[in-house]
Amino acid sequence: MAKTIIIKLTSAGRRTGPFQILDDRGNVLANDVSKQNIIDGFTVSVADETKVIVIKSLYTCCNTSINVSIGTATKEELAAQQFKDTNTASLWRHLTNTTIYNKYYGCTNPYIIEYSFAFRYQDEILQNIKDYTKVYQYLPSEYGVFDDNLKVEIDNQYFDKSILYNGQQSSGVLKLVPKPINNLSDYMKYPIYSVDSKTITFTKSDNFYQYNTFWSLVRDKSKPLFISTCESLSIDKVVNQSNMDYSKRSFKKEPLRAKELKVRHILDSRSDVHLVSQFFVTANQISYK
């Protein structure tokens, strides 16, 4: 059996919505519901045993969600509920916590840097990436102000994602993890394939971060490699995952080969390290036909 409930939003900030509505078992009841629809009162059908629904704000920082218990109310009580805008004007103060960087309003925002390379007359095949980046962790200051001396340079942290692409090829999303040290069995697990990414290892040697194990994963060159996104002002596009093939291959590993290359590095899983990119080198081989 099913029952019908009315969801009504009584307070929210201006940057919330649209919303996804789920039940307590994770079943999607409605997608892309506008904030105005929920303010007016949005009706969904749920199973009789459902006690809680989840309202998730899409395309906003951290995909904020709340759990709401299903209760009872009269028509008069519902009509009496008025929406209140909880947005308040404020000044943003940066570096109030001197050990935190790419975190704003409680959410970790991606730090993204993209390098563009143009090769000479012949096409070139990308062999590996070498990146001279310094990664710092800052220690708390007893005075609560930024102190450039309270830092240590670390070797086991780096960007956590990479996307290599040209006009017709893309590596898809490469997740980067440190190479296991003195543990051959762990090292042999890589690369790790999933439905929307491939996990590979990076090393740091002679102050260069390095990684390889990539090839083009494009299914159909007549379809776009990227799609637009409004997730964040710092992200103008995301990989078109429906056009990527992350399956394990023993053949048909098409190398990244062209007269140009773009390398996008992303850090979005943490905010307690400071990455200072110095310069970037790509090891290439001229491709003759």
Render pLDDT for 8-35 as a digit per residue (tens, 0 to 9): 888 877 667 788 888 888 888 888 888 8
Residue 81 pLDDT class (50, 70, 90 cuts):
confident
Point out which residues pair with 54 in neighbouring strands.
22, 67
Contact 33, 21 (CB under 8 A): yes
Q: What is the per-residue pLDDT for 88?
A: 62
Whether the pLDDT of residue 54 is over 90: the answer is: no
In total, how many domains does the chain have? 2
Asked if residue 263 is part of any domain, the answer here is yes
Which of 24, 56, 85 marks a domain boundary? 85
Q: Tell me: do 66 and 123 sit in the same domain.
A: no
Render pLDDT for 253-286 as a digit per residue (tens, 0 to 9): 888 888 888 899 999 888 888 888 887 666 566 6
Residue 121 pLDDT class (50, 70, 90 cuts):
confident
Asked if residue 95 is part of any domain, the answer here is no
Whether the pLDDT of residue 235 is over 90: the answer is: no
Whether the full predicted model's pTM is greater than 0.75, yes or no, is no
Whether the pLDDT of residue 58 is over 70: the answer is: yes
Q: Tell me: do 114 and 256 sit in the same domain.
A: yes
Alpha-carbon gap, residue 79 to 165, rounded angstroms: 54
Q: Tell me: do 125 and 80 sit in the same domain.
A: no
Q: Tell me: do 39 and 165 sit in the same domain.
A: no
User: Mean of the pLDDT values across residues 211-238?
Assistant: 81
Range of the domain at 202: 103-286
Q: What is the per-residue pLDDT for 83?
A: 82
Asked if residue 98 is part of any domain, the answer here is no
